[in-house]
Amino acid sequence: MKLVSWNVNGLRACVNKGFIDYLDQTEADIFCLQETKLQEGQISLELGEAYKQYWNYAVKKGYSGTAVFTKIPPLSVRYGMEEDEEPEGRIITLEFDEFYLVTVYTPNAKRDLSRLDYRLEWEDRFRNYLMQLDVLKPVIVCGDLNVAHHEIDLKNAKGNHNNSGFTLEERGKMTELLEAGFIDTFRHLYPERTDVYSWWSNMPGVRARNVGWRIDYFLASARVSSMIVNAKIDCDILGSDHCPVILELDFNMADKG
């Protein structure tokens, strides 16, 4: 099973930069998007009968938003963590036979950290939500988590300490989530790999010099670790300031674990 996640930073713009070609190329079973920046009716994607589309729009126009395209029919679909709780369209949960899939666009603390307190409170609720799901069946979480967890996960760690996305508080919340029974699938396979990032500033030359951050993830319940075939960051794919991340799983390997 192949899963792809991509913060497209505006889907309409990304479609004009090769999004559909990339979607077709991946042959993903499930393809998740963050930061679609759409309202209902603002785009019509012709994906054929292969993919069922699920969208969570933000109330604010041109802001946030998530989507999931899946070839595998879900047993259930949920938007947000709580009923009528997610006006920013940040979460979609799909239930499948073997697992829950949660795609998420984590709130940014903002450059001046004015939203840090909200971010930390949100993180606690999100962790609790995932733990509740994990009691029922394994959970796979994908999306833009807006944090570089360790110094290895960004190019200029020293210069970014206490900046948004690399504060001790945000990094600590990621640690708490992993300690609650989840793994960072990329680091599980490649614990020491350096210079692999998923987001780059739009400032001139930054991406060419690979001065980036790894803030897009596939996390999974720890008991899924034996089923991971590969975890990849598609760094060469353009179309957004983020690049896609990929997870391949084989649930038949559970019997061999």
Q: Can you give the pLDDT at residue 82?
A: 77
Q: Can you give the pLDDT at residue 252?
A: 84
Q: Can you give the pLDDT at residue 87?
A: 87
Model pTM score: 0.96
E strands present in 57-114: 66-70, 76-79, 91-95, 100-105
Q: Can you give the pLDDT at residue 253?
A: 75
Query: Which residue in the list 79, 129, 134, 144 is annotated as catalytic?
Result: 144
Q: Can you give the pLDDT at residue 85?
A: 66
Q: Can you give the pLDDT at residue 48?
A: 78
Mark the ranges of the chain whose per-residue pLDDT is less than 70: 83-86, 254-257
Give yes or no: 63 in active site. Answer: no
Give yes or no: 100 in active site. Answer: no
Question: What is the CB neighbour count within 10 angstroms for residue 127?
Answer: 18
Segment holding 246, helix H or strand E: strand 245-249
Report pLDDT digits (tens) over 105-142.
999 999 999 999 999 999 999 999 999 999 999 999 99
Report pLDDT digits (tens) over 49-66.
899 999 999 999 999 999
Query: Which residue in the list 22, 51, 54, 105 is annotated as catalytic?
Result: 105
**Using CA atoms, how far apart are residues 144 and 241, in angstroms rounded to an integer?**
12
